[in-house]
Every structure is written in structure tokens, then in C-alpha cells.
């Protein structure tokens, strides 16, 4: 793996974490009236508490505990995009990218206009070398929000993988137009200087 690929991989992981953090700021949905008991005789735990438990576990690096809490939240409300996105993220971090893709796809069925979810699933498809599917999701993310520099950077990384160097160069330039202090995009663009396209 070249230094450039390592840098792109590290940036992708950072972006995935940013998505997870963004999802935490989304507006909470009203929990359903039914709760889930942790133990017999304890107070019911609602969906927000399960999400909070998952967030706390994730911050401590306890990915399995975070996944279990999110699975409990999912059992309460399987149509909650916040739960689906967080569960997909943690599932991917635990190494099951295909299950994570399924969860993100389900989230997009509920809200097809979430550019961050399109970004997240595109990164997973890229990891599976399903480049055309990844490209479709990056283009959809750009259609939804054409002023988010991270999308252009991520799409540029995909285009490098696809050996479409000139198109990748254009994406990195666009990311820098939108955010001049974007060192990863600047480094990626400089690294393409040696490529002739």
C-alpha cells in the first residue's frame, strides 16, 4: 500500500467518524411508547437512552457494547435513520461492511436526501471495489449538497482508484475551492502532479 493510499484510507476513516459525530447532532425522534427492559424489574429504557448508551460505549472504544445498544434501539424502532446510520457505522468498524451497506441502504430508503449517508455507503462500496455503485452515491451526495468539500475529496479518492486522474484532480480542486484549509485535499492534488492524464 503506497503512502498516498494510506493517507486516503486514514482520511476515509476520519470522515466515517465525522459522520458518526454528525448523526449524534441530528434531531431526536420521539421514542415509541413501548420500552425495552434491561433486567426484570428495572425501568424501561427508551430509544434515546439506548442511543446515549451506544454513544458512551463508542467514546470508550467499546464497539461491541455500542453495537448491542444500537441493536436494542433498532428493535424498538427499526425505521429510525439515526439508529440505522449509527448501527451501520459501528457494524462497519467491526468489520462487517456488507451488513453495514444493508443498513445504510435501509436508511436511504427512509431518507434518500441524506448526503452524509450517501457518502458513508459510497466509502463502503469503494472498499468492496464496487466502484460504479460508489460513484452513483457520490454523485447523489453532490446533487443533494454541492457545497460540502468532503464529498468532492472522497469522490476524488474513488476516481483515483478508478484511474480517472484528470477527473480526480478536478474533484480535489473543487474541494479546495470550497475549503481552502483542507490539507488532505491539497496533498492528494499534489500527489497527482506526477501523474499525467
Q: CA 4 to CA 87: how far, in whole Å?
A: 29
Pair 15, 156: CB distance under 8 Å: no
Pair 104, 126: CB distance under 8 Å: no
Residue 83 pLDDT greater than 70, yes or no:
yes
Pair 51, 36: CB distance under 8 Å: no
pLDDT in tens, 141-163: 999 999 999 999 999 999 999 99
Sketch out the chain's domains with CATH numbers. 3-23+42-194 (1.25.40.10)
pTM to 2 decimal places: 0.75
Residue 123 pLDDT greater than 80, yes or no:
yes
> For position 193, what pLDDT does the model report?
78
Pair 63, 90: CB distance under 8 Å: yes
Q: What is the mean pLDDT of the chain?
A: 84
Amino acid at each position: 500500500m503506497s503512502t498516498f493510499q494510506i493517507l486516503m484510507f486514514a482520511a476515509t476513516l476520519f470522515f466515517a467518524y465525522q459522520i458518526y459525530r454528525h448523526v449524534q447532532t441530528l434531531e431526536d425522534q420521539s421514542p415509541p411508547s413501548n420500552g425495552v427492559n434491561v433486567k426484570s424489574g428495572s425501568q424501561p429504557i427508551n430509544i434515546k437512552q439506548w442511543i446515549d448508551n451506544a454513544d458512551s460505549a463508542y467514546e470508550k472504544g467499546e464497539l461491541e457494547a455500542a453495537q448491542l445498544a444500537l441493536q436494542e434501539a433498532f428493535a424498538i424502532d427499526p425505521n429510525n435513520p439515526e439508529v440505522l446510520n449509527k448501527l451501520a457505522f459501528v457494524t462497519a468498524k467491526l468489520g462487517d461492511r456488507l451488513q453495514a451497506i444493508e443498513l445504510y441502504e435501509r436508511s436511504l430508503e427512509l431518507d434518500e436526501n441524506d448526503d452524509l449517508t450517501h457518502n458513508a455507503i459510497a466509502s463502503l462500496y469503494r472498499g468492496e471495489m464496487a466502484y460504479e455503485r460508489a460513484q452513483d452515491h457520490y454523485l447523489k451526495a453532490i446533487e443533494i449538497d454541492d457545497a460540502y468539500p468532503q464529498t468532492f475529496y472522497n469522490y476524488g479518492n474513488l476516481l483515483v482508484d478508478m484511474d480517472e486522474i484528470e477527473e480526480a484532480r478536478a474533484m480535489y480542486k473543487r474541494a479546495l475551492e470550497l475549503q481552502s484549509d483542507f490539507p488532505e485535499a491539497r496533498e492528494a492534488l499534489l500527489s497527482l502532479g506526477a501523474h499525467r492524464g
